[in-house]
Amino acid sequence: MNQTSMVRTEKYAVAFPRRGSILDANELNAVCDLLADNAPLSAGEWRDRFEEKFRQHIGSRYALSVTSGTTALEIGIRLLDLRPGDEVIATCQTFQASIQPLLDLGVRVRFCDIDAETANIDPDAIAGLITPDTKALILVHYGGNPADMDQICTIAHQHGLLVLEDCAHAIGASYRGRKPGSLGDIGCFSFHTSKNITTLGEGGMITFDRDEWAERADRIRSNEVDAVLGPPGTALGLPPSALPWMKFADAAYRHSYTQILGSGTNAVLCEPACVAGIVQLDKLDGFLARRRMIAARLDEVLTAHPGLVRLPAVDPRDEHAYHLYTFFVRAGEEARYRLIRALDEQGVEVQLRYFPLHLTPEWQSRGHRPGECPMAERLWFSEHMNLPCHPSLSDDQVELMCAALEHSLSQLR
């Protein structure tokens, strides 16, 4: 089949979003008020307010904002204290940023296959991957559908493993009444322009409950050294009387380090982004309601064709955030290709997310090969599809997409 023949040159009538949420005068006015106030634009009071509001929304003890979801994952993985020779279990069905920092650490990644019903990490496959060297497990709540965290955390904690949740898709989801980001040991969120809420294009948040991680994460994001602290610094004697005017000199008198764990970086989320984040968080329920309405309408069309397609399983006790709307084509690769082509010709954009990570060049260079995660490979190469589902879609666009989907499915019979 000629995949290049599917590339469109005109705009889609129903496209995936350039923005996953809606920005309007509320964000604009909030940012303008901040700029007019002559307040600091970095590490100010609005960052504290945004973090507190997000912490309360998630139900975690701590929430620390950073410049991107990728940065949140980088710092979250730093907190796992992995060493060369350690092993990490990771889902293969996620964006590359979920585990890319592991390439720098000299650890072995053992990819876990996915559950065919949800595209989340398969809890039943985890135990067989655990060895004495396994230290952590990294998962994603695929598309915003929560993974089976009770089973996953029970297995992980029985073996002393830390659990890092990539919650980039899961803002607004809930699992048994609790929020992703409060279910494992560390949660990492993204506020990229495509996500369910955004902090002006980029941004992220790290959530956890451990007191000792709070100071470390704050030091890392604030361009300080990630270190094991010793007694107060004494080599320089008492602080000089000029210390209040010596910017950053106080650390030489306040701290001594018994071990350097790594360098810090500047990952402070700016104040305009935090102000916008507060407004976006207030809008989240409305965004979610719209996503769920669109998803329910698409469900109506797809469930009328059970022999051709199937929907992912969503536990009735949970709430899906529908960052992605996913379904699977039962009839196989050729039928999926025909369906994608038919929708494309009618102006409906289709995407496939995400390519199995164990088959990417960087992880193949570490010894990973086809056949390692057979379910993920089968679904991605033969069945997997994503359709637009975002709050900026109009009712007319939703109905156009549903009509195109109905027509295209009818042609497959």
Question: Given a cut of 70, is residue 326 above it in pLDDT?
Answer: yes
Q: Which residue has the higher pLDDT, 126 or 235?
A: 126
Cα separation, 93 vs 357, whole angstroms = 7
CA distances to 128, 156, 231, 256, 394 from 234, rounded to whole Å, are: 51, 42, 8, 8, 65
**What average pLDDT does the chain have?**
94
DSSP SS3 for 32: helix
Those residues with Cβ within 8 angstroms of residue 325's Cβ, 6 or more apart along the chain or in another chain: 143, 294, 295, 298, 386, 387, 388, 389
Spatial neighbors of 48 by CB under 8 A, at least 6 apart, are none
CB neighbourhood size of 56 (10 A): 11
Say if residues 151 and 176 touch (Cβ distance below 8 Å). no
**Residue 340's pLDDT band (cuts 50, 70, 90):** very high
Apex CA 215: angle with CA 133 and CA 45, to 5°? 140
Which is higher by pLDDT, 96 or 245? Answer: 96
| pLDDT tens-digit series, residues 202-225 | 999 999 999 999 999 999 999 999
Q: What is the per-residue pLDDT across 356-378, written as a single tens digit (0 to 9) for each? A: 999 999 999 999 999 999 999 99
pLDDT at 97 over 80: yes
Q: How far apart are CA 302 and CA 311, in angstroms?
A: 8
Instruction: Give residue for tokens 């135990």.
Output: 127
Query: Which residue in 201, 199, 205 sits closest to 273, CA to CA?
Result: 199
Single-letter code of the amino acid located at 373: C
| pLDDT computed for residue 81 by the predictor | 97
Contact 206, 217 (CB under 8 A): yes
All residues at 6 or more sequence positions from 182 whose CB lies less than 8 Å from its CB, including other chains: 58, 59, 60, 207, 209
CB 309 within 8 A of CB 326: no
Q: Is the pLDDT of residue 314 over 70?
A: yes
Encode 150-175: b = buried (16+ Cβ within 10 Å), e = exposed. Answer: eebbebbeeeebbbbbbbbbbbbbeb
**233 close to 200: Cβ distance less than 8 angstroms:** no
Q: List all residues 6 or more positions away from 283 whose beta carbon is below 8 Å from its beta carbon.
A: 21, 22, 26, 197
CA distance 85 to 97: 21
Give the C-alpha separation, 246 to 166, whole Å.
40
- pLDDT per position as a tens digit, 388-407: 999 999 999 999 999 999 99
pLDDT digits (tens, 9 = 90+) for 130-152: 999 999 999 999 999 999 999 99
